[in-house]
């Protein structure tokens, strides 16, 4: 019997690069994490590097390098334009600072009352619980923090938890980092337990890319921890090439455990800035019970110019998606405004004017329609 393409792909990659490793080791998330690609020499063992990619290591790297063997098996070793490769393998352009780029583009440090906590919105906080990720995206908003810097510190940090306890207006806590699902099960259990014990906290979320890049992490023990504390999960997906059987299985287990799943995607030039690519991604996510939630414009971190699209291009893509697929597959396009402005939704123009008591609307096909607007005191009583 012929193995399915995804299984054949993984087996071929494992035999080529890890000939002494059996399937049980390959499927162990700890083995995957320990054997991540972390250096130029290591990277060259897996991919035929271009001069541009190799030269990226001669300057100061703004984002560390890490790619799990599983995720590396999804990448075309010979094609530098492979979308997953472009999102994780550095290029020389990262060494150049463009106008408007800054290490803390969202002004998080100015809204940080205690280390590891960002309190930008009135009723919610961002709790940075780890600096580690399974892979490091080259466009990471928190490139200044991620890696083995020790900047985030102990995830059970008392200062942050005490701050949440002391501020009754906080009803929503988002765990991020780094990636919270890189924490050991017991530490994650303890941390979620402490937060859930705070009476005024109603809503707990975890932001993670682990199901996309390290689906082996979704173990029975982790599912027990998550099912116990019932957080919502905001998953980070970039491209339909990530939607493998392994990922579908991981997301299925999370959904079966009763965990609400949403996705967040960053719009990236030359990677996913195409309506057909994004529609394929969003449809694929719905099929594995993940609701597309946000589509972000790329934050202006240092060396990110080659990733960023224009606002007009983003609006044009959304115009091609909206109306041509189910509304469940259409995320909200947002800009996380620099210097602490928060998430601002942006939309293609739909209200184009007024005509008498009617509003003129433009639909997804560019056609104009008139909607009679209700005005107080202008209605007529129906005879019933």
User: Is 137 one of the catalytic residues?
Assistant: yes
User: Could you tell me the pLDDT band of residue 98, with boundaries at 50, 70 and 90?
Assistant: confident
User: Is 343 one of the catalytic residues?
Assistant: yes
For 116-128, letters b (16+ CB in 10 Å) and e give bbbbbeeebbbbb
Q: Model confidence over 181-229: pLDDT tens digits?
A: 999 999 999 999 999 999 999 999 999 999 999 999 999 999 999 999 9
Specify the pLDDT at position 3. Answer: 54
User: Is 299 one of the catalytic residues?
Assistant: yes
User: Is 121 one of the catalytic residues?
Assistant: yes
DSSP 175-225: EEES-GGGS-HHHHHHHHHHHHTSTT--EEEEEE-HHHH-GGG--HHHHHH
Specify the pLDDT at position 163. Answer: 96
Report CA dihedral (113, 166, 201, 264) to the nearest 10 degrees: 0
User: Is 251 one of the catalytic residues?
Assistant: no
What residue segments make up the domains of the chain, in order of their start?
5-91, 109-345, 350-384
How much is the average pLDDT of 322-351?
Answer: 87
Window from 174-178, 262-266, 289-293 with minimum mean pLDDT:
174-178
How much is the average pLDDT of 100-126?
Answer: 90
Active-site pick, 104, 133, 139, 253 = 133
Is residue 34 scored above 80 in pLDDT?
A: yes
Report the distance separating Cα 29 and Cα 235, nearest Å. Answer: 18
Q: Model confidence over 291-315: pLDDT tens digits?
A: 999 999 998 889 899 999 999 999 9
Is residue 384 scored above 50 in pLDDT?
A: no
Specify the pLDDT at position 6. Answer: 65
Specify the pLDDT at position 214. Answer: 98
Residue-averaged pLDDT of the chain? 90
User: Is 336 one of the catalytic residues?
Assistant: yes
- List beta partners, residue 206: 175, 233
Going by C-alpha positions, the residue among 338, 321, 340 that lies closest to residue 330 is 321
The CA radius of gyration of the chain, in Å to the nearest whole number, is 23
Active-site pick, 25, 121, 249, 294 = 121
How much is the average pLDDT of 121-140?
Answer: 94
User: Is 189 one of the catalytic residues?
Assistant: no
Report the distance separating Cα 271 and Cα 315, nearest Å. Answer: 17
Active-site pick, 9, 124, 196, 291 = 124
User: Could you tell me the pLDDT band of residue 150, with boundaries at 50, 70 and 90?
Assistant: low
Q: Model confidence over 152-171: pLDDT tens digits?
A: 556 448 899 999 999 999 99
User: Is 85 one of the catalytic residues?
Assistant: no
Specify the pLDDT at position 156. Answer: 47
Is pTM, for the whole model, over 0.75?
A: yes
Say which CATH architecture domain 109-345 belongs to: Alpha-Beta Barrel (3.20)
User: Could you tell me the pLDDT band of residue 25, with boundaries at 50, 70 and 90?
Assistant: very high
Question: Secondary structure of 12-61 in the HEC alphabet?
Answer: HHHHHHCCCCCHHHHCCHHHHHHCCECCHHHHHHHCCCCHHHHHHHHCCC
User: Is 60 one of the catalytic residues?
Assistant: no
pLDDT > 90 in the chain, percent: 67
How much is the average pLDDT of 260-273?
Answer: 97
């Amino acid at each position: 019997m012929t193995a399915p393409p995804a299984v054949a792909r993984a087996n071929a990659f494992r035999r080529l690069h890890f000939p002494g490793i059996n399937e049980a080791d390959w499927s162990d998330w700890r083995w995957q994490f320990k054997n991540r690609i972390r250096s130029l020499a290591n990277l060259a063992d897996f991919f035929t590097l271009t001069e541009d990619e190799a030269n990226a290591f001669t300057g100061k790297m703004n984002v560390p390098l890490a790619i799990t063997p599983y995720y590396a098996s999804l990448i075309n070793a010979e094609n530098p334009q492979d979308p997953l490769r472009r999102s994780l393998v550095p290029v020389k352009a990262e060494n150049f600072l463009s106008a408007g780029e800054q290490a803390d583009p969202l002004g998080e440090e100015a809204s940080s009352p205690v280390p590891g906590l960002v309190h930008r919105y009135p009723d919610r906080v961002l709790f940075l619980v780890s600096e580690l990720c399974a892979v490091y995206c080259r466009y990471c908003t928190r490139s200044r923090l991620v890696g083995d810097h020790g900047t985030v510190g102990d995830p059970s940090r008392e200062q942050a938890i005490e701050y949440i306890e002391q501020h009754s207006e906080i009803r929503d806590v988002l765990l991020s980092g780094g990636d919270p699902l890189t924490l050991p099960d017991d530490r994650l259990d303890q941390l979620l337990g402490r937060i859930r014990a705070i009476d005024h906290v109603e809503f707990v979320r975890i932001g993670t890319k682990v199901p996309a890049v390290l689906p082996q992490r979704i173990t029975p023990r982790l599912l027990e921890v998550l099912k116990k504390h019932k957080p919502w999960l905001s998953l980070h997906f970039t491209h339909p090439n990530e939607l493998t059987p392994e990922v579908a299985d991981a997301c299925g287990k999370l959904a079966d455990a009763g965990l609400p799943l949403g996705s967040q995607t960053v719009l990236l030039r030359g990677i996913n800035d195409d309506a057909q690519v994004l529609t394929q991604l969003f449809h694929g996510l719905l099929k594995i019970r993940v609701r597309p939630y946000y589509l972000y414009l790329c934050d202006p971190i240092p060396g990110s110019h080659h990733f960023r699209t224009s606002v007009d291009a983003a609006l044009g893509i959304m115009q091609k998606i909206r109306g041509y697929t189910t509304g469940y597959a259409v995320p909200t396009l947002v800009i996380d405004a620099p210097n602490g402005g928060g998430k601002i939704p942006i939309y293609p123009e739909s209200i184009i004017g007024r005509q008498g008591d009617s509003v003129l609307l433009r639909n997804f096909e560019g056609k104009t329609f008139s909607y009679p607007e209700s005005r107080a005191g202008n209605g007529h009583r129906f005879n019933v």
